[in-house]
Structure 1
Amino acid sequence: MEFLTKLALKRQSVTIIAMLLVIAVGIFSFRSLEAELFPEVELNLIAISASYPAAGPEAIVEEITKPIELAITSLPSVDNISSTSSEGQTFILVEYPVGTDMKSSEASIKNKINTINLPQGMEFEVIRFAPGERPILELSISSTKNISELQQFIEETIVTSLEAIEGVQSIELSGNTEKQIAIQLDIDKTSAMGLSPSQVARIIKNNDFSIPTGSIFNSGTMVNIRGVHQITSLNKLNQLPIKVGDSPASTLIRLSDIAIVEFLRAPTSSIARTNGIPSILLSVSKAKDASTISITEKALTTLEKTELPPGTKLKIIYNAGPEIQSQLNTLAQEATWGFFFAVFVVFLFLLKPRPSIFIGIKESIRPTIIIATSIPLSILVGIILLNIQDLTLNFMTLGGLAIAVGRVVDDSIVVLESVYRHIQKGENRFQATLDGTIEVSSAITASTLATVVVFVPLGFIPGLVGSFFFPFSLAVTYALIGSLFVALTIIPVLGLILLRNNKETATGSIDHYETSGWIQRLYKPILSWTLGHKLATIIISISLTVSSMGLLTIIPIVFFPSGDEKQISASFKTRPGAPSEEILGYITLFETHLDTLRQPGFVKDYLTVIGSGAFSPGGGPPQFGGVRTITTITISNDAPGNLIDNLRDTFPSNQNYSITFEEINTGGPPNEGVEIQITGSDYTKVKETSELLSKRVETIDGVVNIETNISGSQSEITTEINPDQAIQLGLSSKDVSVQVSDAITTKQLGTLLIDGNVTKVILQPVTNINSGISTLENLIIVGSDNSGIKNVPLKELAEISVKSSPRIISRINSQRAATITGEISGRNTQAINNDIQAIIDSMTMPVGVDVQLGGAFTQISEGFRDIGIAIGSGIALVSIVMIGFLGSIRNPVIIVLSLPLALIGMLTALAITNQSLGLPAMMGVLLLIGIIVTNTVVLISFIEQLREKGFTILNAIIEASTIRLRPILMTAFTTSFALLPLAAFTHSEGGLISTELAIAVIGGLVSSTALTLILVPVLYELFHGIIPKKIENSLQFFRRKRKFQIKD
């Protein structure tokens, strides 16, 4: 790097222009970066959601779940397949190895399912998950008008205007109604005429078509022929002819003779209520590369210009734009404060109160300005590199830059201090600047490169952890690369221009200042004592490190910190078969309680969505066993911290319903709850183990709302068809079952172009079949046209009985399974994990039954394992870099042995501030490794330089440690004070990640810096002086002994 410094000093004007260019390009890059809340993350999960109305869980498994599972198993790279089947629906989750092309996998699954012979009327959807896929804007619109009129206004005015905004991918409505044609078929009449609902449906479909039928020559020109008959009005549909019977005397009737055909408006898939008032929820999703902030700003501007009808109210339930801007502004503001704190610390260290405070201030201002310049320049270089890679400015990348503010100053401090020292000795300013920079260039290059390689393994960490933290590591790395080039080019040039020789300081007295200042006078006796008591120093260091590990018993261990959440999600689950009136009654009771919380201002608003549109803002699969209902509660800053616990206590689960409360964490990967998976080939053993284990887990403190997905059963009517009887009607057993389904279930017939509008058509049987099992027995089954037998009651063809069947059937990798789930409330996640594992270990599991922990416990174990591997790999890479730069194995060993000293302060700081030990704190360990390496390399490299000048090992250690004391302390203090705003003042979700990380780094810096200045000199003398001398003495002894033996 020497040539860079020489080139910069010789071409000062070019260097200054380059600096101004970096500033301009950096500002432009910053304005060009898209701002998002989350880094771009793709999960290795694909889900298949399939529905088959009126089918029981066992039928769903046999006819849908198993065929799909079998088909997917044959696809390449599938890791695990789990499924949950309940009445009328199944949810299959497919897990792939990390790094799989999920877009291609999604297409493969769709293609594979389309090749399977699945029941007619079954519908499926393939879903690819990703964190942060919540809509960027959610609006609730309510009105004194009826929902139909409100919906028409929303669709024609609001939706149309929002869809015109560039970057909007889709707009979804919940709680809206849909205009459709209902054909209410009289089953009694059709049965008497020998018509089945499926025959009527086929007649309707066959009379609405437009198909090519060939082509002919007409007047010398080839003309296409198309056969057309379209039902374009309600009258045409009513007058549709239907032939009854197949004889010449067959009767011709109209559809209106056997059905009432009319327009109806019905909820599409869900019902929405805002603060207890019926409403429509409008959700806006953006395209992948679109800007959230830009879209939301344009959307709000559009809404402000929209004139709402009288009595119509619009509420913003969620707006990602201001939330992103707020979090990024907070981090930027605290990074700015960190910059000023760092500059102030540098100023204090450079301040010399003698001969007068005014002269000291005057002499300190110039070097302080130089250091102050290095921080924004390094950060701007990082921003330029982020922009080149087309990364977004999110809470991880900006958090990385904010954290880097405290680290990028280190290289510049070391260079400036070295240049300053040479200039103050009275050397030629150009040569002093060059010599001072070259003297430390190798050390700062090695330390910066070591810090960079520490983060390299994060690029290879699989899963969610790697995806979230790799952008953070890139931001820090790019800023560090910038700091190195700034330190080796810009700082020397600015030093040459701004620094002056202090005439008040005699030549050579700078060495006296550096070795005899008040800090040095305090440090020297401590250093002398430790060098004279090496064993005691090492034992004390080891004891402190080991003792600090005991703090892990009181520090909460979590996956990701949870912040002051602004929203709570309440997920309802009702008993199977509960009527809609009962469900609505429970929800109304809950909403009434929320209204009481609105009065003191604890709750701002709440939105309840009932039905298939009710998906938790926090994500997750559909809920089974009842109607899906989600209430999203927006809380105020005045709400008590234990609000969610109060809600749990007020609405505990009972036999009629359960409510699961979840903090909506928008600042990082979703924090999961308790999850225990029990698998086995024997369903009875799996069920018994699940029920026993769930009862024991319920007793654990901090675990609430424990549920098992196979507890309970439901009644099911089975119709076992006699094939011998069915064949006499010209029907198969399946044909009879289809007729039963047609007589009970509403069917979708597709769409018709009615009055110019595409309109859905449903066939709705009207019968008294739901009034009891006896009416089912008397249901008329219509024989085929060729059977000669027309109308036979179902009881003559089938044995009808009531049986008990499971409500939910779970499978994991084709084995029957049970899942125990619950929430974690107010207790250390790792401690709960230990308690549950102890319960599992104390139980004697039946043969063939396997129990595995999942959820939050898997998150923690896998996340910490991955970070642990990254730390170990980082240390190995640092050692390789150190060996390359320092040319010795002993020095890297000294550096590695000094790293555990950071744990003392880190764990102590987390314990004192009541912070948790999560992945952000573990990331702090990686950053600490880089900082400790910087300080240690600066010290060891100077010791080596003094030894080359003829100093003895002991004298070189004392001299180098005393002279390098100030830059090492400057590095530690400026880094700590730069991080102080992040550690003390942040409360938002993304900020909490930086808070935990900053506290860990500050604490680790305090202990590592203090002990590095003590332990590293001791270790250096041991490895370079005492141990080699003892080895040499031992070798000489053996050589002499061998010589005597030869003589003998």
Structure 2
Amino acid sequence: MSISEVSVKKPVTALLVFIILSALGVYSIFNLNVDMYPEIDIPYLIVYTGYKNAGPEEVEASITRTLESSLSGLSGLKKMQSQSSTGLSLIILEMEYGTNLDAAANDIRDKIDMVRSYLPSDADTPLTIKIDPSMMPIMHLVLKGQHSSDELYDYASDIISPRLEQIDGVASAMIMGGRKKTINVDIPRDRLDAYGLTISQVAQMIGAQNIQATGGNIRSEQLSYSVKTDGKFKSIEDVRNTVISYAVASSPGGKAAPSVKKILLRDIADVYEGHEDGSTAAYLDGESSIMLLVQKQSGKNAVKTAANVRAALKNITESLPGDVEVIESSNTTDQIKRTIIEVVKSITEGMILSVIILLIFLRSIKSTVIIGLAIPISFLITLFLMFLRGMTINMVSLGGMLIGVGMLVDNSIVVLENIFVYRERDAKPSVAATLGAQEMITSVVASTLTSICIFLPMIMLSSRLGFMGQLFNDLAFTIVFSLLGSLFVAIALVPVLSAKYLVLGKSSNINTHTLFGKLNRALGIFFERVDGAYASSVRRILRHKAATVIVMIAIFIGAIVGAVKVGFIYMPEIASDTVTVKFELPKGTRLEVTEAYVQQMESIARQEVKGIKFSTVTAGGDSMLSSSATTNEGSLTLTLYPKAERQKGWDTDKTAKDKLRPYFTKFPGATITFGTNNNDTANSGISIDIKSNDLSLVAKTANQVMNLIKTQAADVVNEVTCDLEEGLPQLEIKLDRNRMYELGLNVASIGSEISGAINGLRASRYDDGGKEINIVVRLPEKDRAKVTDLDLIYVRNNSGTRIPLSNFAHTVKNTAPVTIFRENQSRIAHVTVKQVDGLSLGDVQNRIKDLIDKNILMEDDLNITYSGDLANMREAVMNFLAIIIMAIVLVFAVMASQFESFKSPFIIMFTIPLSFIGVTAIYALTRQRFSIMTVMGVLTLVGTIVNNGIVLIDQINILRKRGRTLDDACVEAAGNRLRPILMSTLTTVFSLIPMAFFPGEGSESMQPIGLTIFGGMTFGSLMTLFLMPVVYNLFNRKNERARVEELKRIEQENA
């Protein structure tokens, strides 16, 4: 007993099943996480090793090379990159997609343990870190008010940040701008000299006087008392009154015994509440402020987390002074919500257009409702299956639903039409529903399998596609789930509803005097004329088969030539309501200079760009990739009004970047890059990779390449950058070791004293109402402002004598390499460029390669290669082509099994390459460029375009078995299947109109898929209707002669 028969016999049970599935789908909507993209595991591991005070070359030689040699044989390793900078070795391991990163991290630790003894003894233990892309900030909050930035910092660090980090879903709330409070102890050099003290000696004394120690336990007869010595500072006065040393003072005339005088900290130093030297600064709309970057926890719902933060801020602000505001300057979840809403809107529009097409062809509201129900019910089943698999609602998964809208009704159309045939033969409703559905189960299952099996290779081989494989997995699973849902609806729900509600004589019962009746009659006449014209056209084409084939071949060749001219990009740009401008000044630039630069940039932006909602500026910052504060870096973020609120004449992110680029690229000494919050990492541009073991040769060649591109390729590229930075200005203190040993000194004490004099020494921590504040001992600014001040730093030897630095050392000015980059154990520099909008990526890279080949002298130890978007796209396209070929083989196998023939599937396969004509035409007409998303569209197209061919060829075979001649069978089958093919094609292509031609804000990356299927289905269906009868006729002409002769022989024998 089939599913259809069971459903018809037990309609209540069947309806309950679908009601339950629909309810589970509704439940899933409210419990699926929402994000812009699917959760993606980036297969990168970082080995982080600190080596304090060591230069880049020493770090490279003693740590990086040793670890690289050990890790080079790591299983699953694709590429190894490293950065050796002052005090830090960073090794970035790119693993093959699909690698178990937890197991790989354990292998890394084992390999590091094997060479740990070869690393410097004073180097830190290497740490292995896994990159999590979901930890990017989702919200930027700005704190402003009538207070100093330091006071605002205290509000942020004491009140806002701790409370935000308690919210479900929030990982951290990092503070930018402002400075931490400290107790500064500034000791002028003349006072140190007067009392014979050093910075480190004072710091040790402060630390020794601020201790809380336990003294064990005292047990009485009944109780046990813990003993605690509380010597912690209770106030800043306690700090000031700390005894630093003692001095013996003799009495006048020497008659009385000498007295001992206490030297207090207040006697030699200025002790006051202050703040650390700033390493970051933040501004909102030109005003100094504090910024908090809110990061969500991995796996948490970004939209819910942001909503939780917004709700909590209402309570948090009540704890702040009335004039202090917390402003939400940026929220990526707003973009997510707008994008999701736009995609859902496109799905709804697609559903409406599909239902209208059904109504036009069926001319029956009841039949349209029965078939139209397949769409929402299939979607709810899809959402439930997504929930079971742990997927998220995102632009890609919703894009899969949008692609499937038109295909969801195909199975229901086929089943309903066959049920209607039985009803016209006077079968009872239940019998017609059962037999009509049972007859078509094999056909609709085969049709669904052809659409589903194209995604199986991609799902199975997604690791070969890397990032794109993970991205498209959601698309594939969503389409597969929706098609399975539509199949279940077609064979289980449509028969039940047809048995109950399908009525014969739907056209004759309509009142022809009403508007609907007139439209129904007009459509009937129109379809009859179309049927007649199409049959005549097919008969005419069959008389000119050779000419038809030649014309199609010529058009196909033209499409291939046209495809080359369309151009290629890696990923389409996505519209955003933010523009981010990142810049980098020469290493060593002070924070104040960086602030001035970025404020000047903000001023220009506010003058040139229209429609700015907020402008936020950050200067400096701390990075895991650097051992020191990056005071030479900054960023400007323009938050534009969203599309719905944008007035006429206001700028988009693209026009804003076009306006600002000419200004910002002229800033002297600054490296500028533009981006948005959406696809900064998707389009990385073209990278020229320069490798050599000779670092000076790498640097020289990188400079030559940059100058060559800037002077001779400025018309095709912009944002030319290089990661090999200029040397950091450095004062190197050269020690005379013999003299140093004679004076009883050691390097550790010298280094500590120098660091303390310049940066300050943390002597201890002061408890300020439960908040720990550093006590920092240092020289005042005036005593450490000049290079010559270094010579006046004193170091105490083993006997307690103070010795000036000038007695055993001298200072030399030079530049030090900032970072040494390596890739696969060879030194490297990357020169990165981005092509001008509208230009083909391949053409631009070829132009650059020609320039380099003609102008750069290739030495023996020099190697120049190219990576970036084009290389990534070529690799992805080749992998996709392999998957498409596998998909075509599977589709062929399904059709061969259905027809029990190799010839019929082979004929149907002609529609696949010919549909590419429509793809090229639609891209040329819309002036779009091919991208990796186009390839995904082609893959989807392969499984859908053959379905119409299956319907037509199957009908031709049936008619020939009934005795029709070859030509008559081709013409009659074409006429019989015209309307089903048109209905299937038009529901698909019309449902894709919103995606293909009117993509919503943020969903532009899915547009190429819609365009590809739209163009391919439109032209491919025309080829099915007009060329398929010709191809079938040509392939079966020989068999037809034999069949005619056999029929004549049988007739003669019977005569």
When structure 1 is superposed on structure 2, of 482-491 and 423-432 the one drifting more is: 423-432
User: For residues 191 and 537 of structure 1, do their structure 2 counterparts lie closer, same or farther at Cα, with a shift above 3 Å needed?
Assistant: farther
CA–CA separation in structure 2 for the residues paired with 1:16 and 1:256: 87
User: Which position in structure 1 is the counterpart of 2:275?
Assistant: 265
CA–CA separation in structure 2 for the residues paired with 1:624 and 1:256: 32
Alignment of 1:559-578 (within 5 A): 559-578=570-589
CA–CA separation in structure 1 for the residues paired with 2:161 and 2:726: 44
User: Which position in structure 1 is the counterpart of 2:343?
Assistant: 331
CA–CA separation in structure 2 for the residues paired with 1:33 and 1:880: 36
**Structure 2: segments with no counterpart, 5+ residues:** 248-258, 510-523, 1046-1055
The match for 1:493 among 496, 499, 506 is 496
- Given that residues 573 and 627 in structure 1 are in contact (C-alpha distance below 8 angstroms), is that contact kept between their aligned partners in structure 2? yes
- Given that residues 573 and 623 in structure 1 are in contact (C-alpha distance below 8 angstroms), is that contact kept between their aligned partners in structure 2? no
Residue type at the aligned position of 2:476: S
Q: Classify the secondary structure of the residue corresponding to 1:905.
A: helix
Q: Classify the secondary structure of the residue corresponding to 1:497.
A: helix
User: Which position in structure 2 is the counterpart of 1:992?
Assistant: 1004
Alignment of 1:401-412 (within 5 A): 401-412=401-412
State whether structure 2 residue 148 is matched by structure 1 residue 146: yes
User: Which position in structure 2 is the counterpart of 1:24?
Assistant: 23
Alignment of 1:511-530 (within 5 A): 517-530=528-541
Shift of 1:691: 2.0
- Given that residues 280 and 631 in structure 2 are in contact (C-alpha distance below 8 angstroms), is that contact kept between their aligned partners in structure 1? no
The match for 1:635 among 614, 635, 640 is 640
Shift of 1:192: 8.0
Shift of 1:970: 0.8
CA–CA separation in structure 2 for the residues paired with 1:951 and 1:196: 110
Residue type at the aligned position of 2:145: S
Q: Classify the secondary structure of the residue corresponding to 1:910.
A: helix
Partner deviation per Cα, 1:934-971 (whole Å, 9 max, x = no partner): 22222233334445555555544443333222211111
- Given that residues 412 and 489 in structure 2 are in contact (C-alpha distance below 8 angstroms), is that contact kept between their aligned partners in structure 1? yes
- Given that residues 337 and 981 in structure 1 are in contact (C-alpha distance below 8 angstroms), is that contact kept between their aligned partners in structure 2? yes
Partner deviation per Cα, 1:967-992 (whole Å, 9 max, x = no partner): 11111011111111222332311x21
Partner deviation per Cα, 1:801-824 (whole Å, 9 max, x = no partner): 333443443222332211112333
User: Which position in structure 1 is the counterpart of 2:482?
Assistant: 479
When structure 1 is superposed on structure 2, of 119-128 and 283-292 the one drifting more is: 119-128
Q: Classify the secondary structure of the residue corresponding to 1:899.
A: helix
CA–CA separation in structure 1 for the residues paired with 2:474 and 2:48: 32
When structure 1 is superposed on structure 2, of 427-436 and 630-639 the one drifting more is: 427-436
Shift of 1:171: 1.8
Alignment of 1:820-835 (within 5 A): 820-826=831-837, 827-835=839-847
Residue type at the aligned position of 1:790: T
Residue type at the aligned position of 1:285: Q
User: For residues 772 and 287 of structure 1, do their structure 2 counterparts lie closer, same or farther at Cα, with a shift above 3 Å needed?
Assistant: closer
User: For residues 435 and 942 of structure 1, do their structure 2 counterparts lie closer, same or farther at Cα, with a shift above 3 Å needed?
Assistant: farther
**Structure 1: segments with no counterpart, 5+ residues:** 352-363, 507-512, 1034-1048
The match for 1:276 among 286, 301, 304 is 286
State whether structure 2 residue 662 is matched by structure 1 residue 657: no
Shift of 1:927: 1.7
User: Which position in structure 1 is the counterpart of 2:170?
Assistant: 168
User: For residues 918 and 749 of structure 1, do their structure 2 counterparts lie closer, same or farther at Cα, with a shift above 3 Å needed?
Assistant: farther
CA–CA separation in structure 2 for the residues paired with 1:672 and 1:61: 27
Q: Classify the secondary structure of the residue corresponding to 1:517.
A: helix
User: For residues 123 and 632 of structure 1, do their structure 2 counterparts lie closer, same or farther at Cα, with a shift above 3 Å needed?
Assistant: farther
Residue type at the aligned position of 1:464: F
State how many pairs are aligned: 1000
Shift of 1:610: 1.1
CA–CA separation in structure 2 for the residues paired with 1:472 and 1:485: 20
Shift of 1:719: 3.2
User: For residues 782 and 113 of structure 1, do their structure 2 counterparts lie closer, same or farther at Cα, with a shift above 3 Å needed?
Assistant: farther
- Given that residues 274 and 608 in structure 1 are in contact (C-alpha distance below 8 angstroms), is that contact kept between their aligned partners in structure 2? yes
Alignment of 1:263-662 (within 5 A): 263-266=273-276, 269-304=279-314, 306-307=317-318, 309-351=321-363, 364-459=364-459, 460-462=461-463, 463-502=466-505, 517-597=528-608, 601-612=610-621, 627-636=632-641, 637=646, 638-639=650-651, 641-662=654-675
Q: Classify the secondary structure of the residue corresponding to 1:971.
A: helix
User: Which position in structure 1 is the counterpart of 2:720?
Assistant: 706
Residue type at the aligned position of 2:141: L
When structure 1 is superposed on structure 2, of 453-462 and 495-504 the one drifting more is: 495-504
Shift of 1:771: 5.1
Q: Classify the secondary structure of the residue corresponding to 1:900.
A: helix
Q: Classify the secondary structure of the residue corresponding to 1:392.
A: coil
State whether structure 2 residue 897 is matched by structure 1 residue 884: yes
User: Which position in structure 1 is the counterpart of 2:5?
Assistant: 6
User: For residues 881 and 208 of structure 1, do their structure 2 counterparts lie closer, same or farther at Cα, with a shift above 3 Å needed?
Assistant: farther
User: Which position in structure 2 is the counterpart of 1:678?
Assistant: 690
User: For residues 727 and 420 of structure 1, do their structure 2 counterparts lie closer, same or farther at Cα, with a shift above 3 Å needed?
Assistant: same
CA–CA separation in structure 2 for the residues paired with 1:32 and 1:966: 41
When structure 1 is superposed on structure 2, of 898-907 and 712-721 the one drifting more is: 712-721
- Given that residues 677 and 853 in structure 1 are in contact (C-alpha distance below 8 angstroms), is that contact kept between their aligned partners in structure 2? yes
- Given that residues 743 and 767 in structure 1 are in contact (C-alpha distance below 8 angstroms), is that contact kept between their aligned partners in structure 2? no
CA–CA separation in structure 2 for the residues paired with 1:158 and 1:187: 40
- Given that residues 624 and 808 in structure 1 are in contact (C-alpha distance below 8 angstroms), is that contact kept between their aligned partners in structure 2? no
The match for 1:758 among 758, 772, 775 is 772
Shift of 1:155: 4.9
Residue type at the aligned position of 1:1011: M
When structure 1 is superposed on structure 2, of 550-559 and 156-165 the one drifting more is: 156-165
CA–CA separation in structure 2 for the residues paired with 1:688 and 1:791: 46
CA–CA separation in structure 2 for the residues paired with 1:621 and 1:777: 29
User: Which position in structure 2 is the counterpart of 1:1038?
Assistant: none
Residue type at the aligned position of 1:577: G
User: For residues 593 and 903 of structure 1, do their structure 2 counterparts lie closer, same or farther at Cα, with a shift above 3 Å needed?
Assistant: same
User: For residues 296 and 791 of structure 1, do their structure 2 counterparts lie closer, same or farther at Cα, with a shift above 3 Å needed?
Assistant: closer
Identical positions, percent: 25
User: For residues 736 and 81 of structure 1, do their structure 2 counterparts lie closer, same or farther at Cα, with a shift above 3 Å needed?
Assistant: farther
When structure 1 is superposed on structure 2, of 225-234 and 482-491 the one drifting more is: 225-234
CA–CA separation in structure 2 for the residues paired with 1:471 and 1:1010: 31
Residue type at the aligned position of 2:99: T
- Given that residues 690 and 829 in structure 2 are in contact (C-alpha distance below 8 angstroms), is that contact kept between their aligned partners in structure 1? yes
State whether structure 2 residue 84 is matched by structure 1 residue 81: no
Residue type at the aligned position of 2:310: L
CA–CA separation in structure 2 for the residues paired with 1:199 and 1:444: 87
Shift of 1:235: 4.3
Q: Classify the secondary structure of the residue corresponding to 1:406.
A: coil
User: For residues 773 and 148 of structure 1, do their structure 2 counterparts lie closer, same or farther at Cα, with a shift above 3 Å needed?
Assistant: closer
Shift of 1:730: 3.9
Shift of 1:198: 4.7
Residue type at the aligned position of 1:760: N
- Given that residues 275 and 605 in structure 1 are in contact (C-alpha distance below 8 angstroms), is that contact kept between their aligned partners in structure 2? yes
Shift of 1:435: 3.8
Shift of 1:201: 4.7
CA–CA separation in structure 2 for the residues paired with 1:105 and 1:966: 57
Alignment RMSD: 4.0
State whether structure 2 residue 47 is matched by structure 1 residue 38: no
Partner deviation per Cα, 1:542-569 (whole Å, 9 max, x = no partner): 3322211223334242222213321111
State whether structure 2 residue 136 is matched by structure 1 residue 134: yes
TM-score, normalization by structure 1: 0.86
Residue type at the aligned position of 2:488: F
The match for 1:927 among 915, 936, 940 is 940
Q: Classify the secondary structure of the residue corresponding to 1:391.
A: coil
Shift of 1:212: 7.1
Residue type at the aligned position of 1:476: I
User: Which position in structure 2 is the counterpart of 1:974?
Assistant: 987
The match for 2:929 among 907, 912, 916 is 916
Shift of 1:119: 8.8
User: Which position in structure 2 is the counterpart of 1:784?
Assistant: 798
User: For residues 486 and 670 of structure 1, do their structure 2 counterparts lie closer, same or farther at Cα, with a shift above 3 Å needed?
Assistant: same
